[in-house]
Structure 1
Amino acid sequence: MKRYLPFDALRGLAILGVILIHVSGYYMIVGAPAVVLNQVGRFAVPVFLILSGWGLTITDSLKNGYGNFLIKRSRKILPLYLSWSVIYFALHILRGSIKLNLKTMVQVFIFGSSEYHMYYVPLLFFLYITYPFFLRVSRYGFGVFSTLVVTLLSMYVSIFNGSLSWWGGPNVFSWIVYFSFGIWIGLNFDKVTPRLRSVRIRFILGVLMILSFALLLLEMKLLRGITSLKIVDLMTSMKGSVIIYSIIMVMIFMSWNITTRLLIKIGKHAYGIYLFHPLLLMVLNRIIGGRSSIIIMLLEYIATVVIAYCLTKIAVSLQRTLKERIG
C-alpha cells in the first residue's frame, strides 16, 4: 500500500502535541491558559498508539512470522530507547535524584522511568508483544468495545486510587483501546475512509471536536472535586474524554484528507524528537529560569520544536552517512 499522507501529517501533529504538553507543564504558575494549552495536546500519545496499530495491520506485519516481526520492531525502537535511557539515567545520577541499584535499573530500562516521557516505549513494546492477540480481538466491533471497557475501568480505578502508574511504569491497560482501534481501522480502512469524506460528516466531526475538548476540560474540573489528585495529576491523558477527543482527531484527518507538508516532514522524525526534546527543555530551563509568562511559553515552545527538529534531522543524516561509509 502507498503511504497514507494524512496519517503521516497526523504523526507530525502528534509530536507537536507532545511538546506542547511538556512545555506547558513548566508554566502552571500562569494558570488557566497553560492548563488549557496542556489539554489541547492530550490527543498526542493516544494518536501515536492508534497509528501504530493501524500501521502494523495495514502492512500485514506478521506475514513473515511473529519472531521476525518482533526482531524488526526491536531493531527499530530499542537502540534509540536504550541510548536515551542511559543518557537520562546518567544525568539523574549526576544530579543525585536517582540511586544506582538493581531496582532503579529495572525501573529505568524495563518500565521507562529514566525520564517522564520514556514510559511510552515499554508501553509500545508491550503492545508489539501482544499484537497477535489484539489483532484477533479487534477484528470485531465487540472486541474493540471490550478494550474500551477495560481501558475505562483501568483509568478510573487508577484515578480514584490516587496512582496513575503501574509498578513504577505505565499502566498498559489504560492505553489498549487506542491500539485496538488503530488495528480496527487498518482492517476496515477501505470501508471506513470513503464514508468520512462527505461535507456533512466533516461538519459533524468539526462540531464534535469542539464539544469533545469542552468535555475534556469539564471532566478535569469534575474529577478535581471528587478525587484526592491535584490539578497537575488530573491533566493526564488517562481520562475517558481524551478517548473521544483523540478518536475524533484521527477521523478529522481521514475525513478532511489533511496532508500539510510541514507536518509530514516533522512526522518523519517524530520518534527521535520525542526522545530528545525533554533534554532540550532541561537546557532551556537553565537559560530561561522563571517561567511566568504565556508569551515566554509560546516562544519556548516554538524554539523547542525548531531546535529539536533540526538537531534530530542532522543526527539522522549523520547516522545515514556513517552507515554508507562503513557499508
Structure 2
Amino acid sequence: MQKRVSLDEIQLARAFAIIAVLLVHSSSSGVTTISTDSLLFPIYNFFNIAGKLGTPTFIFLSSFILFYNYFPKKTDFTLIKNFYVKRLKYILIPYLFFSAVYFILKWFFYYDYPSIGFAIQKFLYLFALGKAHPHLYFVFISVQLYLLFPFFILLFKKFSFLRKHSIWIGILIQWLWVYLNKEYFHITLKGSISLSYFSFYFVGAFLGIYYNDLREKMNESSFRFKVFSSVFFVYGGMVVLYTGYMYLVRIGVYRDVSQHLPQLINQYIGEFTWATHALFAGLSLFLLAHWANKRFSPKTKSIFMEIGATSFGIYLIHPLLLMVMRKVVQGGSPLVYNGWQIFTFITISIGSWLIVRLTQKYFENNYWVIFGKLPSLKQNRTKEDYSSKPSPSYTTNY
C-alpha cells in the first residue's frame, strides 16, 4: 500500500470553495435588485456566476477524499459499517438540525401552515429532498454519494477499465442523464439528483485513486506545465462563456441571439456552460491549492487552513446570518446599498466562522450535533507540522 501523504491542499481547496460560496450568496440580492442597465450589474453578474463553483467543488473534493482514503483499504463489513456510522453522526445529524432550523424560521416569518401535522409532513418532504433551504441540496447530494459509495468502491476495485477511464465515463453518464431527462423524464428537481454530478464524482474518484502517482508525475516540469495550462485555459474560456451567457439571459438579449443559433445549442447551452465551468473550476481550485501549499507563508496558510477546517459549519450557518443582514438594509442610495453588499460578505464570513468556533468551545462534547466534527481548538501547528503530519480531521466532514 502506498503511503498516504498529508492533505493540507484539500483544506486549502475547501477554503477557496467556501469563499466562492459566500461571494455568490452575498451578491445574489444585488443581481436580482439592481437594474440591468446599471454599470454595476455586469460586476454583480460576474461574481455571482463565476463564483458558482463552490458547491460542485465540495462534491468533487468529497469524492476525492473518499477514494483516496478507502480505495487502498480492504472493503469489508466493518469498513462499510464504520463509514456509515461516521456519516450518520457527522453529516446527517447536522443536516437534520439545520433543516429543522431553517424550516421553523421560514414557517414563523413567511408561511402559515394550517396545522402542526401539515407542517410536519411538509418538513419531512423538504428534508427528504434537501429543500428545507436552498443551500442544503449540497448535503442531500453528498448523502446520495455516501449511499452509492460502497458500490462504487467495489466496482472501481473490480474493473481496471472503469478506474482508468473514469473521467470520461463519469462525464458520459452525467450527459446521458441530462439528455434522457430533457427528452423523456422531465424531472424538474434534477439538481437534487446525484446523476447530475457524476462527472464530479468520477473525476474525484480518478484523482483519489491515482493521486500519489499523479503527484510524483507533477514533479516533472513539462507535465506540470501541460496540466496547469490546459486546465486554466479551459476554465478561463468557460468563465467568459458562462458569465457572458447568463448576462445575456438576465438582460433579456439572449432570446434574440438564440434565434440565430442551432436548436441543439439552445437546448443544452445552459447545462453545458454550468457543468463544464464547474468541473474545470473545481480542478483549478485543486491545482491552486497545491500551488498555495508551497507558496503561502505559514501565517497565511494557517488562516486558510482554519477557513477550510470550519468550511462545513460555515456552509451550514451562513444563510442564517444572510437572512438577518438583508432584513437590516433592503435598499437605499447606490453608495449605501453597494457598500452594504461588501459589508454583508465580510460580516457573514467572519460571523459564521466565529459562531462555529464558539459553539465548539462552549459545547465541546456536543457541538458535532450542529456542525459535524472539527479540528481541535488547541490545534495550532507550525509550518513543519503542516508539511509532515496529515490530520485525520481533514477527512471527517463532507
- What TM-score comes out, normalization by structure 2 length? 0.70
For residues 114-147 of structure 1, the C-alpha deviation after alignment (integer angstroms, 9 at most, x for no partner) is: 1111111121011001002333555524333222
For residues 207-266 of structure 1, the C-alpha deviation after alignment (integer angstroms, 9 at most, x for no partner) is: 444233223224546775459xxxxxx699953332233223323333564663221101
Q: Give the 3 Å change call, closer, same or farther, for CA 163–192 of structure 1 in structure 2.
A: same
The match for 2:97 among 83, 88, 91 is 83
Output the amino acid matched with 1:240.
T
Of 46-55 and 209-218, the range deviating more from structure 2? 209-218
Q: Give the 3 Å change call, closer, same or farther, for CA 205–126 of structure 1 in structure 2.
A: closer
2:45–2:247 contact (8 Å) kept in structure 1: no
Q: Which residues of structure 2 form unaligned runs of 5+?
A: 35-40, 157-161, 264-269, 368-398
Aligned to 1:26: 29
Output the amino acid matched with 2:126.
V
Output the amino acid matched with 1:44.
G
* CA radius of gyration, larger in: 2
Aligned-residue RMSD, C-alpha: 3.1
CA distance in 1, matches of 2:365, 2:81: 30
Q: Is 1:71 aligned to residue 112 of structure 2?
A: no
Aligned to 2:225: 200
CA distance in 1, matches of 2:128, 2:208: 29
The match for 1:134 among 142, 152, 156 is 152
C-alpha displacement of 1:203: 4.9
Aligned to 1:188: 210
Q: Give the 3 Å change call, closer, same or farther, for CA 48–165 of structure 1 in structure 2.
A: same
Aligned to 2:313: 272
Output the amino acid matched with 1:35.
N
CA distance in 2, matches of 1:236, 1:140: 25
Of 106-115 and 213-222, the range deviating more from structure 2? 213-222
The match for 1:252 among 276, 282, 288 is 288
For residues 45-91 of structure 1, the C-alpha deviation after alignment (integer angstroms, 9 at most, x for no partner) is: 11111111111122227563322211111111122111111111111
The match for 2:352 among 297, 308, 319 is 308
Following superposition of structure 1 onto structure 2, how do residues 170-249 of structure 1 map, counting pairs within 5 Å? 170-197=192-219, 198=221, 200-201=225-226, 202-203=228-229, 205-220=231-246, 224-225=254-255, 226=258, 238-249=274-285
CA distance in 2, matches of 1:80, 1:71: 14
CA distance in 2, matches of 1:9, 1:247: 13
Q: Which residues of structure 1 form unaligned runs of 5+?
A: 228-233
CA distance in 2, matches of 1:8, 1:175: 21
The match for 2:50 among 16, 40, 46 is 40
Output the amino acid matched with 2:97.
S
2:30–2:341 contact (8 Å) kept in structure 1: yes
CA distance in 2, matches of 1:256, 1:283: 34
For residues 255-312 of structure 1, the C-alpha deviation after alignment (integer angstroms, 9 at most, x for no partner) is: 5646632211011111111110001001001112227544332221111111111111
Aligned to 1:13: 16
Aligned to 1:230: none
Of 44-53 and 103-112, the range deviating more from structure 2? 103-112
